[in-house]
Structure 1
């Protein structure tokens, strides 16, 4: 398995699957979620609407993952996961964030994904401290019972890039 860090727009990556750091509705939002919905086109929203709700307005509870086609993206699949909102670290945030990576890898394995790109789940508007989010991500991939041939941590800025690169040295 090869693990890489790249500072790029995740919607442009030529991988089998990209991970969407989504909200529980899966109907689009800001940041990475909004960028993926815009780049994938309107069929992504239509596909997300078809996913069953687990409770009103929730198609993907925090820590879980769902998969759709990538539609207009270079990636064949979008794996949607909902990271925890940072509330100080005492509300199961580390366990929920680790579950995001585990559940994304499980869906990737089921679909025969050989390459996958992850954003910094929860480290944007959800407020998770970047260094801790990166550590959980890298540890989760390294400890996984199954990994694809290529894992890309796709970052959006120099500080995130440095955080992931530091952990991979």
Structure 2
């Protein structure tokens, strides 16, 4: 898909349907996150994990970005994790899939327990800080209304 169109269509989806993602789709999204333009020395300080809420299902999936404990200043950890998330959002949109931001604090506390971290594959010395749920959207991504340049220019001009 054309990059300009991806950027214009890129936004969260209200509802995801229970359809499994392929391994190739999940891999493409995670590879995009791994290619985020963060400082080189930070690459080994973040960890990306995916899991499904339904056992033995691959859709929708949750993708968690975790940070190695004690490795980054509070003020910038969300900036760099956000850059990773942004890459994965663009990849998700490019695949005509949908995503939802997960911001539930209680959910992050649950993800941070040693038992849950072991269950879904987050290393012991990492703390989950951002989560994205990815899957097939209820309504097609490529039929969303796009805001053209003229709309943006009206707001700023």
TM-score per shorter chain, which class?
Answer: 0.3 to 0.5
Between structure 1 and structure 2, the one with the greater Rg is: 2
Q: TM-score, normalised by structure 1?
A: 0.31
Question: Whose relative contact order is higher, 1 or 2, with alpha carbons under 8 Å and at least 6 apart?
Answer: 2
Q: TM-score, normalised by structure 2?
A: 0.32
